[in-house]
Structure 1
């Protein structure tokens, strides 16, 4: 039996397309290095917002298997 997921797997944005556009727009006019740095800062900010190591661990595992 698998453990229950700690992550919300369903869409949680009222307008997912707007959320996607916001993230895409944040990268406009950035070169590859600047874009990677923005992503790194955003990951750290959102990881802190989560504030739960078990949830973060599950998110990292899910992101790694999506390669």
Structure 2
């Protein structure tokens, strides 16, 4: 069983963040929301493990 990785795990995180911001540049709020939804579904499909996805959803609830 896989476990959700919550420690820093992205190579060049600042570059990733810049790419993520660029993805939304020039888009309306509705367009950005749609891009985020598609990105979430694509990444969830890539992960594929329902237990890991459930852990991620639980972690996302924390404010």
Same structural fold, with TM-score higher than 0.5 when normalized by the shorter chain: yes
After superposition, the CA RMSD in angstroms is 1.3
Q: Which runs of 5+ in 1 are unaligned?
A: none
Larger-gyration structure (1/2): 1
2:9 corresponds to which residue?
Answer: 12
> Which runs of 5 or more structure 2 residues have no equivalent in the other structure?
none
Structure having the higher helix fraction is 2
Matches within 5 A, 1:1-67: 6-65=3-62, 67=63
For residues 11 and 37 of structure 2, the distance between their equivalents in structure 1, rounded to whole angstroms, comes to 25
Runs of 4+ aligned residues of structure 1 deviating over 3 Å after TM superposition are none
TM-score (norm 2): 0.91
Alignment TM-score, normalising by the size of structure 1: 0.86
| CA offset digits 1:34-60 (Å, max 9, x no partner) | 000000000000000000000000000
